[in-house]
Chains A and B, each alone.
Chain A
């Protein structure tokens, strides 16, 4: 039995890697995408273009303006003097925000000890808008503390003392890069499997395979193993890049990570083979790959948290193997995942893998007509 499977595995690997074009497609893009996306996918804002509308002629207005321009997060793009200049700046995205320090700023601050500044933000990207506002808030708080100290006033009765665990600088790259490991591994496994049966069906070689002494289980193993090996190899490469190139700490234990990876690969391969054996043409296979892949990525918690989704959609994500692997990846990379969390994330992936592989094997024989 094993010699037959081995022969099939060999044939599959040759079919996948024989010509330069398909070798390139499987190996180069994931590495390039990891490097590009690892830098691109960040929520942190580094260059917020802002315009300053300083009407105040007093000293404190200038001091506050310097606080903001001096921050590494903000780039001053324009200084304006009239209301009419605000709208074109924001409409055309020249500036993300306009900071308006009114003519009474210094006077009100000195006399009453209380005043306000207006911050106008482009809300087209609401996440960026909220983040930029929170950066401004931090700067104004620092200014407030400095001003209060210079006046000999007491500090506010309560202040926050913030300790982020697992990611002390709240660097969103630490969150995204482990996620990319799962993202690209899934893409590669689907890439390898989703069209493999459909292609053989279209070319008529699958029928030939079925009349050989190979049993469906053996065909299934022969189709799964090459994808498993390629996926395992690429995932390892990506993990190495994440750890040593992007310097994401890997605090958890590797056996746990590889247990998760194995089950994740099985479930991805199962889904891919199921799509492939359902499809009659390669176009249907491609459609199936996208219909699975795109929602699986968006609803995995890779970019937006699952907890923010409506309950119905959250329940839908339970069928998505990627959601479990995301928890394992981030857990092992950043937190040092507790055993019991690892177990609760592992068994659903194993279940998805077994069910989809069984369906795929059954479909080999029963979808001939």
Chain B
């Protein structure tokens, strides 16, 4: 595929190729080398984790440099998924520490879905008001949201923790989702910019037909912006899925523990001497799989949208 992309550019009739044919070919070679290095550089850590997770701990110690799995086994994945008993896992060289993958997966998926849906929907409501409705203080409210965009998380961390603590929400789902489920300054800003670009004719017509604001919002604005809202939702979902510091502070309890926190706990439980690398890598890969799936299906869409919002 790399070759196709590059050859397509090489065979294209291009004045540059005729003028400086040699140097153009030279540049193509450099480009190909950079691309290959980049692919190796990007994919190697994943391959290495996979190769390790498919190896047996004992054989790994004897042969750490083999590029293929040593003592091939699926037991590390089975153990992480709870498919074999702890004693069997220990017998095959695992640490025997429990990693309740399905529970952490459920917690992570729940928290990420709620935050993505809530943040996008409530931000869209606010963005609609800011983009379309006239009311006193509109600019002041918008500037307030813009200013919040600049405030780094560190200032909010301690006060928000104290607030969640006072509410008695430590180690609850609502404690984990509360700060992000109702809005994010970025989501409001992003959606407002998009709504401003929507043609007003449909809305004007709907107004004259007696449609109310909520009808206009739900029947016109939302359907017309389903694409950007979906992209935004995916980005919020991934951000929440990857978040570590906040759930680590307010959701360390086993019942609400998300995957990132679970991985760090699993890692800190491994003894310094001989960590259970195959087990740890199996858990790490399992935690990354949902993101990899999203990447495979929607990577291109996310890349395009980030480039657009990043520059604008």
Q: Do A and B bind?
A: no
- Chain B residues with CB under 8 Å of chain A are none
Mark A residues whose CB is within 8 Å of B. none
